[in-house]
Amino acid sequence: MRIGFIGLGNMGAPMAKNLGAAGHEVTGYDTAEVAVEGVAGAGRMQDAVAGMEVIVTMLPNGGIVRTVHEAVVAAADPESLIIDCSTIDVESARAVHELAGKKGLMSLDAPVSGGTGGAAAGTLTFMVGGSQAAFAKGRPLFEIMGAKAVHCGEAGAGQAAKICNNMILGISMIGVCEAFHLADRLGLDRQAMFDVASTSSGSCWSLNTYCPAPGVGPESPADRDYKAGFAAELMLKDLDLSQTAAEKNGAATEMGRHARDIYKAFVDAGGRGKDFSAILERLGQS
């Protein structure tokens, strides 16, 4: 397939590289100067859009996605499929679907889970919103860039799934950090806390797979001085998205709001760039 890829950052570059390595003809565009192995560089965005069968975008936020998709829809071939893999607000996702639909183009919102490691290894999980036909067309590409693709429903359903998942993640990471912090204050050995909770009803991904306590559990960013991994400011971005959605749709997400406030305080106090599990360190300083 001829694929245009817009946004070759930490996530987009390895994703585009994997598509190229699988034999697709990939043309990439980014406002920054980026070279990606197996991906032809486009000097102008239009060169990564016109004549392409699929156009993938992987961009920082909803505002940028809306602007870029205006240009993409204007330059795209009538048969092309547009896939946005960025994490953005549900409203912007629906707006860009509508934009594509007006021109008769197929589109998908397909945010991902799995981080830069998953992007490099081609093991991302895609959460996808859009029509069955669009999903069927995009699926072979999800299979290259990821290990799993779930069709969650119509336009915006992928973003809805993403922000609900990450709200669980933010809340559960804080819960796990607070449990280690309390264990410390009670004189309970961290390894003992892990051994019990990771095989009891406290078990969860934030504890078992991504343990925030250095030297305990499988290797994680905690063992690398909390070098991100998944940066605290990205978690804050996602919790802002879930809270904005909750407020607009009348959902009661008290814990989500509290988690957002905790990450905001952490980022404002110098946590930017640190892994989101470094909340444990901050509690230790309290």
Check if the beta carbon of residue 68 is closer than 8 Å to that of residue 95: no
115 counts as binding ligand NAD under rule CB under 6 A:
yes
Cα 81 from Cα 3, distance rounded (Å): 10
H or E, element range at 155: none
* Cβ-based nearer residue to ligand NAD, 120 or 188: 120
Tell the burial category of 44 from Cβ atoms under 10 Å away from its Cβ (0-12, 13-18, 19+). Answer: exposed
Residue with tokens 């404002």: 268
* Cβ-based nearer residue to ligand NAD, 217 or 229: 229
* Cβ-based nearer residue to ligand NAD, 80 or 166: 166
Interface region with ligand NAD, contact rule CB under 6 A, candidates 60-68, 139-147, 219-227, 245-253: 60-68
**Minimal distance in Å, beta carbon 48 to ligand NAD?**
9
Cα 238 from Cα 231, distance rounded (Å): 11
62 counts as binding ligand NAD under rule CB under 6 A:
no
The residues carrying an active-site annotation are 162
* Cβ-based nearer residue to ligand NAD, 173 or 197: 173
Residue 252 DSSP code: -
Interface region with ligand NAD, contact rule CB under 6 A, candidates 98-106, 112-120, 142-150, 175-183: 112-120
**Minimal distance in Å, beta carbon 65 to ligand NAD?**
8
Site for ligand NAD in 181-240 (CB under 6 A): 230, 234
**CB atoms near residue 218 (< 10 Å):** 10
Where are the alpha helices (H) located in the chain, listed in sequence order? 12-21, 62-75, 90-102, 115-121, 132-145, 157-185, 190-197, 205-208, 232-249, 254-266, 279-284
Interface region with ligand NAD, contact rule CB under 6 A, candidates 6-14, 199-207, 250-258, 266-274: 6-14
Residue with tokens 């817009």: 6
Q: Which of 38, 41, 51, 60 binds ligand NAD (CB under 6 A)?
A: 60
33 counts as binding ligand NAD under rule CB under 6 A:
no
* Among the listed residues 106, 86, 119, the one whose alpha carbon sits nearest the alpha carbon of residue 14: 119
* Binding-residue total with ligand NAD (CB under 6 A): 23
**Minimal distance in Å, beta carbon 187 to ligand NAD?**
36
Cα 184 from Cα 139, distance rounded (Å): 47
Interface region with ligand NAD, contact rule CB under 6 A, candidates 1-9, 126-134, 146-154, 218-226: 1-9
Residue number closest to ligand NAD, CB atom: 9
Axis crossing angle, helix 232-249 with helix 254-266, rounded to the nearest 10: 150
DSSP 55-73: EEE--S-HHHHHHHHHHHH
30 counts as binding ligand NAD under rule CB under 6 A:
yes
7 counts as binding ligand NAD under rule CB under 6 A:
yes
Site for ligand NAD in 63-92 (CB under 6 A): 64, 68, 86-87
* Among the listed residues 183, 228, 226, 220, the one whose alpha carbon sits nearest the alpha carbon of residue 202: 183
**Minimal distance in Å, beta carbon 115 to ligand NAD?**
4
Residues that bind ligand NAD (CB under 6 A): 6-12, 29-32, 58-60, 64, 68, 86-87, 112, 115-116, 230, 234
